[in-house]
């Protein structure tokens, strides 16, 4: 029992390290921050709602990839708006969201994710 002080000190250090991200976020005031994205000029909607695209765009792009490559499908009908869109990152998405640094990279960097889109697709010029 003479090591109780060391154990308590060790547990305190462990708890401080584990909860550090929470305390750091609260102390710096970054709680609840998310990057603000703007709809490209001249456009009022995306292929689906803003809420859907914010949360699920990667799933949609994966679905498009699979359907184009494996099934030969070329067009997507919006579940929200009912309009038809070509399933293409460069011919559809990047036509509106043509500033990759401002639109794609802003959120991906904030979240610390590295999408593999550009492993196959060519990044639009000027970005």
Overall pTM surpassing 0.95 (yes/no)? no
How far is it, in rounded angstroms, from Cα 51 to Cα 67?
23
Over residues 60-93, the pLDDT tens digits come to 999 999 999 999 999 999 999 999 999 998 888 8
Average pLDDT, the chain: 87
The pLDDT of residue 47? 93
Over residues 104-126, the pLDDT tens digits come to 888 888 888 898 888 888 776 65
Residue closest to 22 by CA, chosen among 30, 12, 14: 30
Poorest-confidence range of 10-19, 26-35, 42-51?
26-35
């Amino acid at each position: 029992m003479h090591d109780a002080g060391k154990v308590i000190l060790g547990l305190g250090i462990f708890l401080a390290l584990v909860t550090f991200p929470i305390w750091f976020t609260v102390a710096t005031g970054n709680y609840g921050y998310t990057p603000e994205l703007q709809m490209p000029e001249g456009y009022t909607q995306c292929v689906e709602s803003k809420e859907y695209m914010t949360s699920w765009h990667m799933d949609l792009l994966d679905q498009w990839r699979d359907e184009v490559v494996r099934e030969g499908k070329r067009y997507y009908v919006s579940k929200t708006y009912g309009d038809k869109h070509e399933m293409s990152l460069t011919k559809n998405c990047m036509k509106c969201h043509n500033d990759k640094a401002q639109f794609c990279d802003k959120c991906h960097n904030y979240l610390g994710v590295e999408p593999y889109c550009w492993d196959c697709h060519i990044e639009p010029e000027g970005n």
